[in-house]
């Protein structure tokens, strides 16, 4: 039977796996950690979409909000197609077993988030991603045509002829983390759903697996990467001493939470008759939408306020809201904050921006097929879906809760494209796949310089390629990351791969692409803000 190998076990990967398996494909899903460890699992807010396909007014508002958030850089045709398809794909998730929140009358409890003009976001309290992941994974585990392999890291794509301009994928090399060996996987088609690269930065809301692996391996195979300068920083990650930054969902601000500096908070509390806290918020200086402005605007606003004050964080205020309803709606957030002595609806929450989402990625067409950078054609048998891909939907800045929507729409399209052509893959192939060659290479002993290189990379990307940039900082980052790349490549060519070395190699390659893309973007737009650009 024809076989699809799918890298990644988030919403995009599992949804495509189920669709392909139902159509008769043998599907192998590989993921480098536990099957549940994906950005989908950490998504709190929800999925945006109009369920009623006849609601043309609501869809037009969703389209306009998406285009506005994307700062005029979205592909409007893509936006219209995705918004129009939203209802069907959300119903697919419901049919699979995803339970979205309902009110006492049984209607879906729709919420509003930053940048939205209407309540169109379906959610499962504040753990929507976990609910979706659980439902998809449960069905995938029990599907007879799906094989799930954890602790397997996709290393590189195998091309039929690496020297040919017209590229065709025939498999991939996969690093078995437990056995510490590289295995050769044959595949009639490969789908990359490996997520983003938040781990390039010191502070990120992403899980540890988000090291830009899919983008890097696709780029090495000849894929086009686009819009890599647009890295979204979520404005409200909890500024507490936790192992991994924790996201305070946009929905908290949609519910009425307000951002303030510590001075503004004191001024507000000092009022005899406590007024609307939004009147005291610094956010009004940056947008009429105040605390509900889009993520790019708020992240820059917070960054600028912290530079002015010298403080480490701003405050998210919720004490003016109904404490019981707030804690009922956001139990995961409340439970997390309680560990640090903070009670939702009572205490101000310290927050700072953190790397959250890669708007750019592997360039794909409307079917999720990967674009060949040398000639603009597709790379045969290769698809990319979810955060690893760039469809044009998000433009220069993603609108809240559009990520899960885009992921499921393009996952459906990619699997449908494969399913419609499954008959051509039934023909026996005679490709002999090359094994990974590690003969004569030495095992990598713990290499302190590589540990230091990773720390330096994260520090450099955070300080010089973060929310606000300048030509001086970008060029400094370029020099430093080029030096790191030389050392990593030297070790790579002389050592048997390890997970840490594979990830660092990928992170360095994608960091250089981001830096060069930022230097080449001479107009400030969306998430890209360079202090030396004065034309926006």
116 occurs within a structural domain: no
Q: Where does the pLDDT of residue 536 fall: very low under 50, low under 70, confident under 90, or very high at 90 and above?
A: very low
Q: Which of 38-47, 184-193, 205-214 has the lowest mean pLDDT?
A: 38-47
> Of 316, 333, 354, which marks where a domain is finished?
354
Beta bridge partners of 102: 108
Within this chain, do residues 20 and 155 fall inside the same structural domain, yes or no?
Answer: yes
- 153 occurs within a structural domain: yes
**Domain final position from 309, 325, 354:** 354
Mean pLDDT of 479-508: 93
Q: Is the dihedral of CA 264, 268, 269, 270 positive or negative?
A: positive
Give one DSSP letter per residue of 280-332, joined into a string: G-GGGGT-TTGGGS-HHHHHHHHHHHHHHH--S-EEEE-TTS-HHHHHHH-HH
pLDDT tier at 432, thresholds 50, 70, 90 = confident
Using pLDDT thresholds of 50, 70 and 90, give the confidence band for residue 138.
very high
Do residues 37 and 134 share a domain? yes
Smallest CA-to-CA distance from 447 within 498, 486, 397 is with 498
Higher pLDDT, 39 or 21: 21
Residues 349 and 289 placed together within one structural domain of the fold: yes
Residues 309 and 341 in one domain: yes
How many domains, in total, are found in the chain? Answer: 3
Q: Which of 203, 226, 295, 329 is catalytic?
A: 295
Give the C-alpha distances (Å, rounded to integers) separating 374 from 162, 222, 250, 388.
Answer: 13, 7, 40, 20
> 151: closest CA among 29, 33, 10, 5?
33
At 53, is the pLDDT very low, low, confident or very high (cuts 50, 70, 90)?
Answer: confident
Among the residue ranges 12-21, 380-389, 422-431, the one predicted with the least confidence is 422-431
Alpha helices in 161-313 (DSSP H): 213-220, 250-254, 262-269, 295-309
For 499, how many CA atoms within 13 A lie in the half-sphere containing its CB? 15
Same domain, 460 and 501: yes
**Numbers of helices and strands, H then E, in the chain:** 15, 20
pTM above 0.85, yes or no: yes
pLDDT tier for residue 380 given thresholds of 50, 70 and 90? very high
Confidence of residue 207 (pLDDT cuts 50, 70, 90): confident
Q: Is residue 286 part of a domain?
A: yes
For residues 439-457, give the mean pLDDT. Answer: 77
Pairing relation of β-strands 181-186 and 169-176?
antiparallel
Residue 323 forms part of a structural domain: yes
Cα distance between residue 369 and residue 377, in whole Å = 9
Same domain, 8 and 142: yes
Residue 492 forms part of a structural domain: yes
Please tell me the predicted confidence (pLDDT) of residue 311.
93
Tell me, what DSSP letter sits at residue 198? G
The domain spanning residue 499 has which CATH number? 1.20.58.100
Collapse the DSSP code of 353 into the 3-class scheme (helix H, G, I; strand E, B; otherwise coil) and give the result: strand
Cβ(45)–Cβ(39) under 8 Å?
Answer: no
User: Which token pair is 132?
Assistant: 């979706």
Average pLDDT of the residues of the chain: 91
Residue 404 lies in a domain: yes
Asked if residue 471 and residue 345 are part of one domain, the reply reads no
278 and 350 together in one domain = yes
Q: Are residues 476 and 504 in the same domain?
A: yes
Q: Are residues 376 and 334 in the same domain?
A: no
Q: What mean pLDDT is predicted for residues 4-27? A: 95
Measured CA to CA, the distance from residue 189 to residue 383 in angstroms comes to: 8
pLDDT classification of 242: cutoffs 50, 70, 90: confident
The answer to whether residue 66 is domain-embedded is: no
Residues 354, 206: contact at Cβ < 8 Å?
Answer: no
Q: Based on the domain organization, do 30 and 171 belong to the same domain?
A: yes
**315 pairs with which residues across the strands?**
260, 350
The most confident of the ranges 29-38, 214-223, 244-253, 417-426 is 214-223
- Percent over 70 (pLDDT), the chain: 94
Secondary structure element (H or E) that encloses residue 336, with its range: helix 331-338
- Which of 66, 58, 77 lies closest to 116 in space, CA to CA? 66
pLDDT band, residue 251 (cuts 50/70/90) = confident
Confidence of residue 319 (pLDDT cuts 50, 70, 90): very high
Quickly state the pLDDT bin for 423 (edges 50, 70, 90).
confident
| pLDDT of the residue at 431 | 64
Q: Which residues lie across from 233 on neighbouring strands?
A: 355
The mean per-residue pLDDT over the stretch 410-421 comes to 96
Residue range 2-20: mean pLDDT, rounded: 95
Task: Give the residue carrying structure tokens 């997390």.
Answer: 336
- What's the CATH code of the domain at 381? 3.50.50.60
- State yes or no: is 295 an active-site residue: yes
Listed in sequence order, the residues at least 6 apart from 435 whose beta carbon sits closer than 8 Å to its beta carbon are 184
H-run or E-run covering 451? helix 448-464
Same domain, 419 and 474: no
The reply to whether 14 falls in a domain is yes
Domain span holding position 485: 442-520
């Amino acid at each position: 039977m024809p076989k699809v190998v799918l890298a990644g076990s988030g919403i995009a990967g599992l949804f495509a796996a189920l669709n392909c398996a139902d159509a008769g494909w043998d599907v192998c899903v590989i993921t480098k950690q536990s099957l549940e460890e994906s950005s989908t699992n950490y998504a709190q807010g929800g999925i945006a979409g109009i369920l009623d396909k006849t609601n043309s007014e609501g869809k037009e508002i969703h389209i306009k909000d998406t285009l506005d958030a994307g700062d005029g850089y979205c592909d409007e045709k893509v936006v219209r197609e995705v918004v129009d398809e939203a209802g069907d794909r959300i119903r697919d998730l419901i049919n699979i077993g995803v339970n979205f929140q309902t009110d006492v009358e049984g209607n879906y409890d729709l919420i509003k988030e930053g940048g939205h003009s209407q309540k169109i976001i379906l959610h499962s309290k504040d753990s929507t991603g976990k609910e979706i992941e659980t439902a998809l994974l449960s069905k995938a585990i029990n599907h007879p045509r799906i094989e799930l392999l954890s602790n397997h890291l996709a290393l590189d794509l195998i091309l039929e002829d690496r020297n040919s301009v017209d590229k065709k994928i025939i498999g991939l090399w996969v690093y078995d983390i437990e056995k510490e060996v590289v295995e050769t996987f044959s595949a009639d088609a490969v789908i990359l759903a490996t997520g983003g690269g938040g781990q390039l930065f010191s502070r990120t809301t992403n899980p540890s697996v988000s090291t830009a692996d899919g983008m890097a391996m696709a780029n090495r195979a000849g894929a086009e990467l686009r819009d890599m300068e647009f890295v979204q920083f979520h404005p409200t990650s909890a500024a507490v001493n936790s192992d991994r930054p924790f996201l305070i969902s946009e929905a908290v601000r949609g519910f009425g939470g307000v951002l303030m500096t510590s001075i503004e908070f004191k001024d507000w509390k000092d009022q005899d008759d406590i007024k609307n806290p939004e009147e005291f918020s610094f956010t009004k200086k940056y947008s009429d939408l105040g605390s509900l402005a889009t993520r790019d605007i708020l992240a820059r606003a917070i960054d600028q306020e912290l530079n002015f004050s010298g403080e480490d964080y701003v405050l998210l205020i919720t004490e003016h809201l109904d404490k019981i309803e707030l804690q009922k709606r956001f139990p995961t957030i409340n439970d997390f904050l309680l560990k640090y002595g903070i009670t939702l609806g009572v205490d101000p929450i310290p927050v700072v921006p953190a790397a959250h989402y890669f708007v750019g990625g592997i360039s794909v067409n409307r079917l999720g097929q990967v674009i060949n950078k040398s000639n603009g054609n597709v790379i045969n048998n290769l698809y990319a879906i979810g955060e690893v891909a760039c469809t044009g939907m998000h433009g220069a800045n993603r609108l809240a809760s559009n990520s899960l929507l885009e992921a499921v729409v393009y996952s459906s399209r990619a699997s449908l494209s494969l399913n419609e052509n499954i008959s051509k893959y039934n023909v026996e192939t005679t490709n002999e796949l090359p094994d990974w060659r590690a003969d004569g290479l030495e095992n990598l002993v713990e290499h302190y310089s590589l540990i230091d290189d990773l720390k330096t990379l994260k520090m450099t990307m955070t300080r010089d390629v973060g929310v606000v940039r300048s030509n001086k900082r970008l060029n400094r980052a370029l020099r430093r990351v080029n030096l790191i790349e030389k050392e990593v490549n030297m070790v790579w060519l002389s050592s048997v791969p390890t997970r840490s070395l594979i990830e660092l190699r990928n992170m360095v390659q994608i960091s250089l692409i981001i830096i060069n893309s930022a230097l080449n973007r001479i107009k400030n737009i969306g998430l890209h803000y360079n202090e030396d650009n004065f034309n926006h």
